[in-house]
């Protein structure tokens, strides 16, 4: 299905007059005929959004297998079948399938973002066809259709407004504008940004108030909503830093295993003169041993633990790797409305007769105090009382408590006025009852004021509120008074506040109110100034981000003045700095855009494509970018960012489906908590990897030593290689022992300096040099102990007598069992050293992580089953051990504990010496 093209002929409809629009589209206010609509539907296509299909479950499952390590394991299993080692092959293929299932479960998530976008287009619309107003399917709308709107309607397509009556449209989800937009039918400037195109109504937005008639100028993919849909389809998910680094590790392991296997096979056949089958089985064992089969499970479990902890802190993770990515975030790009601010208009200042009064409290909850000159008011001044009196009676909104949440009915601006009145201690119920409204002139976008006639104390009073310029021209004011009021308005406007002016006329003789009644001679009552205030917790969270080396940038579709004011309150801008608008970004070179993205912290009046460009510019500078938002306009950038974060309460379905993390409390502070949890998850992942990979190195070294240095044994006249472990036994260690002990590391507490260190570089390898050195030390210790015990046990059993097949089988099974047990105890003692990679295992608190001791207990029980249960003896070729063998295995395994503790002590001393030397140099 091909999506219809955008606007016919690419015309900028917002800049054309009504007549020009109708002329271009060959339509009139009587609408299209049925035949014309049908012909245009064929030409432009249906008013629907193109949907991009998601990958099938089978394709997702295949991706889990189609990788170098997966193919290496499959080849090993197939080789085991060829050598008639069916038990080993079953175990190997079982590991492949388990890993594939784990990866599938992690990735399988249907991408519903496009479907959510499509749901924003209503099913039906009211159109005028053949001169009659009829309900039609929204899908059948075509350019040139005449559509009528009324309060509560979703706009079904992009409309050029022709007739407007008091129309307010909620566009926050599309443009980021925090307030409803008053629409008019006059053309606007050709280069007006999306949020300033007041002559347009855009598909998917919501009519809050009034009525309108508009001409459809774009449908489906040609609408602004369709443009965002196209951006979503074109935007791919980013690979996480950990995923990239683990892919490098996996590729390196695969290449190393293939090389060593080739060497071992050649050595066994041509140097040791061993049978080809024996040499191939050693190669299979080494391939299985060197590959960390339990790695996918451990990573998934570590991330899942982080997901659970983040959920407790109000952050729901929809994509597991996002947990780790949060911990490496270097830049957070945040929307303003509803994320850094509450999306609840709040009166902060009343200006009356030259006096300024400050209101505390935020949002629509009517809790707060009023101060003058820093002192709390104990008695309401008459002038302030009269101002609030007008603000409440010339008002149609209501504020009420529902399920412990303050909600509003009506316009958000008017609701903010009601809340301010309640804070002053005035009873809204008494005001309504005792001051009946006799008549009203509703607010209209053309007149920019609302006026009511109320019966107050036996007299008729006219009460007026509206845009300051409209109210002031109706008041009797001297030049000096006018100058003083304008200065005050300019001051509050620079602070990003919306200023509402109020006036009244007492004791009028009229019983009805007419426009002529408010043309002049009104008494100016004062100003009320409001803003969508920053969240207090967001300010604290931004400070925490800065201390953690994370830059916070605000990217909003709101007005630059408002954005600058909020940015300064949040600590994102100094007094000397200013916001950058989307218009300023147009025409910048790639280098200029990257410089702007790095140097500017507040961007205003930006379009969805600008947000993507800024995210990509930061990513090009090697930053890990988190993008937060709640609107449709945020969704493409949320999807493009390394970590997309959507708001759970105010967020649209589109933004939530595009995101990897959803904040259930819409609180920026929850992002900081999620970053903290992300850093803990990453630290614990590295600890788990630093614990697991020495085992694979140790197993590979053990088998290599056996091939290169163990003697060839003649059993009944046939040369046989001494194999320290079989493939199934190496899988036991990799999948049972390693996972049992790795999982408890996922529950380690946060490192003390986690939120005081700089974010790690995205190019930083998973393992630093000192961790690689430690892996080698532990791997070699593990191999030396295992090989020594194997040879000791094997030769103890066979003695000096000729080797028979029965005695060889007995000695081999017991020696291999002791070898496996020795490696298991080495893992147990090394686990304590992995609780902190740099400090003593006591530094984390010896009993601060109970799962550590649970994991050790479970592993010892499983190892006992491995040794003594007949079914497992048959499956894995193990044999019973006596108490003496257990003690030897434990003693050899314990060597790793003091060796690594000494290594930590030496490295910490050396690091402290370097730090002191650097201080002395300074």
Written as six digits, the tokens of 413 are 């601006």
Q: In DSSP terms, which residues pair with 398 in a beta bridge?
A: 409
Q: Do 143 and 31 form a contact (C-beta atoms < 8 A)?
A: no
Q: Hunting for tokens 């935020």 — which residue is that?
A: 362
Task: Say whether 607 sits in a helix, a strand or coil.
Answer: coil
Name residue, tokens 């201690």: 425
Name 249's Cβ contacts closer than 8 Å, sequence gap at least 6.
Answer: 766, 767
- N residues, the chain: 922
Neighbours of 714 (CB within 10 A): 12
Q: Is residue 564 exposed (0-12), middle (13-18) or buried (19+ Cβ within 10 Å)?
A: buried
Burial string for 754-770 (b: 16+ CB within 10 Å, else e) reads: bbeeebbebeeebbeee
CA 443 to chain centre: 40
Residue 663: strand pairing partners:
315, 647
Q: Which of 335, 411, 634, 642 is catalytic?
A: 335
Residue holding tokens 């190997």? 92
Give the long-range contacts of residues 260-266, CB within 8 A, separation 24 or more. 260/286, 260/290, 260/700, 260/704, 261/286, 261/287, 264/703, 264/704, 264/707
Strands 661-663 and 643-647: parallel
Output the furthest CA–CA distance in the chain (Å, rounded). Answer: 128
CA distance 143 to 141: 7
Q: Give CA–CA dist 104/106, Å, rounded.
A: 5
Based on the number of CB atoms within 10 Å of its own CB, is 53 exposed (0-12), middle (13-18) or buried (19 or more)?
exposed
Please tell me whether residue 382 adopts helix, strand or coil conformation.
Answer: helix
Q: Taking Cα atoms as reference points, which of 687, 638, 677 lies closest to residue 831?
A: 687
> Rounded to whole angstroms, how far apart are CA atoms 201 and 184?
10
Strand 355-359 and strand 602-604: pairing?
unpaired
SS3 track for 576-601:
CCCCEEHHHHCCCCHHHHHHHHHHCC
Calpha distance 175→449 (Å, rounded): 25
Asked if 662 and 647 count as a contact pair (C-beta separation under 8 A), the reply is: yes
Using N-to-C axis directions, what is the helix angle for 590-599 and 608-620, rounded to 10°?
Answer: 90
Here the tokens at position 615 are: 């995210």
- Token duo for residue 553: 């940038």
**675 burial via Cβ count (<10 Å: 0-12, 13-18, 19+):** buried
Q: Please report, for the chain, how many H helices and E strands are present, in that order.
A: 33, 28
Q: Would residue 335 show up in a list of annotated catalytic residues for this protein?
A: yes
Nearest alpha-carbon partner for 24 in 13, 38, 36, 14? 13
Copy the structure tokens of residue 827: 């893992």
At 799, list the tokens: 């003695």
Residue 378, Ramachandran bin (φ over 0: left; ψ between -120 and 50: alpha; else beta): alpha
Q: How far is CA 878 from CA 820, 863, 870, in A?
A: 9, 10, 9
Both structure tokens of 695: 């085992």
Give the integer Cα–Cα distance in Å for 836 and 838. 6
- Given CA atoms 286, 290, 294, 296 in this order, what sign does their dihedral have? negative
Active centre residues (catalytic): 335
């Amino acid at each position: 299905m091909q999506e219809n093209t955008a606007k016919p002929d690419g015309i900028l409809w917002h800049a054309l007059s009504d007549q020009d629009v109708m002329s271009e589209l060959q339509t009139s206010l009587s609408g299209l005929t049925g035949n014309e609509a049908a012909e245009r539907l064929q030409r432009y296509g249906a008013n629907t959004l193109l949907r991009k299909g998601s990958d099938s479950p089978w394709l997702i499952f295949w991706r889990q297998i189609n990788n170098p390590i997966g193919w290496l394991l499959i080849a090993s299993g197939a080789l085991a079948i060829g050598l008639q080692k069916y038990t080993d092959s079953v175990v190997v293929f079982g590991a492949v399938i388990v890993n594939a299932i784990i990866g599938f479960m992690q990735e399988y998530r249907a991408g519903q973002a496009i479907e959510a976008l499509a749901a924003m287009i209503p099913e039906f619309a009211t159109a005028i066809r053949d001169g009659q107003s009829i309900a039609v399917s929204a899908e059948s709308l075509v350019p040139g259709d005449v559509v009528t709107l009324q309060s509560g309607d979703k706009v079904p397509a992009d409309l050029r407004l022709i007739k407007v009556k008091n129309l307010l449209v909620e566009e926050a989800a599309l443009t980021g504008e925090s307030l409803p937009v008053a629409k008019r039918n006059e053309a606007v400037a050709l280069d007006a940004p999306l949020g300033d195109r007041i002559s347009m109504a855009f598909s998917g937005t919501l009519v809050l108030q009034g009525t309108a008639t508009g001409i459809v100028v774009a449908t489906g993919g040609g609408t602004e909503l369709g443009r965002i849909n196209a951006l979503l389809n074109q935007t791919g998910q980013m690979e996480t830093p950990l995923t990239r680094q683990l892919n490098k590790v996996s590729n390196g392991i695969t290449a190393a295993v293939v090389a060593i296997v080739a060497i071992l096979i050649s050595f066994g056949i041509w140097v040791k003169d061993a049978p080809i089958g024996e040499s191939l089985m050693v190669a299979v064992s080494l391939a299985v041993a060197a590959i960390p089969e339990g790695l996918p499970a451990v990573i998934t479990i570590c991330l899942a633990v982080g997901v659970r902890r983040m959920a407790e802190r109000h952050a729901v993770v929809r994509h597991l790797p996002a947990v780790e990515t949060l911990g490496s975030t270097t830049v957070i790009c945040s929307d303003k409305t509803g994320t850094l601010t509450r999306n609840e208009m709040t009166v902060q200042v009343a200006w009356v007769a030259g006096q300024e009064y400050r209101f505390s409290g935020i949002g629509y909850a009517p809790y707060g105090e009023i101060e003058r000159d820093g002192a709390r008011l104990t008695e309401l001044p008459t002038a302030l009382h009269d101002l609030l009196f007008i603000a409440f009676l010339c008002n149609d909104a209501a504020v009420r408590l529902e399920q412990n949440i303050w909600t509003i009915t009506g316009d958000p601006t008017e609701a903010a006025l009601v809340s301010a009145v309640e804070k002053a201690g005035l009873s809204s119920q008494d005001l309504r009852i005792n001051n009946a409204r006799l008549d009203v002139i509703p607010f209209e976008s053309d007149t920019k004021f609302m006026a009511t006639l109320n019966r107050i104390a036996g007299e008729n009073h006219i009460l007026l509120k509206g845009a300051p310029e409209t109210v002031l021209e109706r008041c009797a004011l001297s030049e000096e008074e006018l100058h003083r009021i304008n200065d005050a308005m300019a001051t509050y406007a620079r602070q990003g506040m919306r200023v509402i002016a109020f006036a009244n006329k007492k004791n009028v003789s009229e019983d009805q109110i007419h426009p002529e009644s408010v043309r002049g001679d009104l008494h100016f009552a004062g100003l009320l100034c409001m803003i969508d205030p920053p969240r207090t917790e967001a300010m604290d969270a931004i400070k925490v981000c800065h201390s953690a080396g994370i830059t916070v940038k605000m990217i909003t579709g709101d007005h630059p003045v408002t954005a600058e004011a909020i940015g300064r309150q949040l600590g994102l801008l100094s007094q000397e700095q200013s916001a950058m608008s989307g218009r300023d970004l147009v025409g910048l070179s790639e280098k200029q855009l990257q410089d702007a993205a790095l140097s500017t912290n507040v961007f205003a009046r930006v379009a969805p494509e600008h947000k993507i460009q800024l995210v990509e510019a930061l990513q090009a500078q090697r930053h890990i970018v988190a993008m937060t938002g709640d609107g449709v306009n945020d969704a493409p950038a949320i999807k493009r960012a390394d970590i997309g974060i959507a708001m759970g309460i105010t967020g649209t379905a589109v933004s939530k489906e595009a995101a990897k993390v959803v904040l259930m409390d819409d609180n920026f502070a929850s992002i900081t908590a999620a970053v903290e949890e992300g850093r803990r998850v990453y630290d614990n992942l590295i600890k788990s990897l630093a614990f697991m990979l020495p085992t694979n190195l140790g197993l590979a070294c053990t088998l290599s030593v056996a091939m290169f240095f163990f003697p060839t044994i003649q059993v009944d006249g046939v040369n046989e290689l001494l194999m320290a472990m079989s493939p199934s036994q190496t899988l036991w260690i990799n999948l049972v022992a390693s996972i049992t002990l790795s999982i408890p590391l996922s529950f380690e507490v946060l490192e003390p300096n986690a939120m005081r260190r700089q974010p790690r570089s995205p190019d930083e390898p998973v393992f630093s040099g000192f961790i690689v050195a430690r892996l080698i030390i532990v791997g070699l210790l593990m191999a030396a102990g295992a090989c020594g015990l194997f040879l000791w046990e094997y030769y103890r059993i066979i003695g000096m007598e000729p080797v028979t097949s029965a005695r060889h089988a007995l000695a081999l099974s017991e020696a291999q069992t002791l070898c496996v047990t020795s490696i298991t105890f080495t893992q147990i003692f090394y686990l304590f050293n992995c609780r902190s990679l740099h400090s003593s295992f006591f530094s984390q608190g010896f009993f601060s992580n109970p799962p550590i001791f649970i994991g050790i207990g479970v592993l010892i029980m499983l190892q006992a089953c491995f040794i003594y249960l007949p079914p497992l003896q048959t499956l894995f070729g193990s044999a019973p051990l006596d108490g003496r063998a257990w003690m030897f295995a434990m003693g050899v395994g314990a060597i790793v504990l003091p060796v690594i503790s000494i290594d930590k002590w030496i490295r910490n001393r050396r690091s402290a010496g370097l730090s002191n030397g650097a201080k002395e140099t300074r």
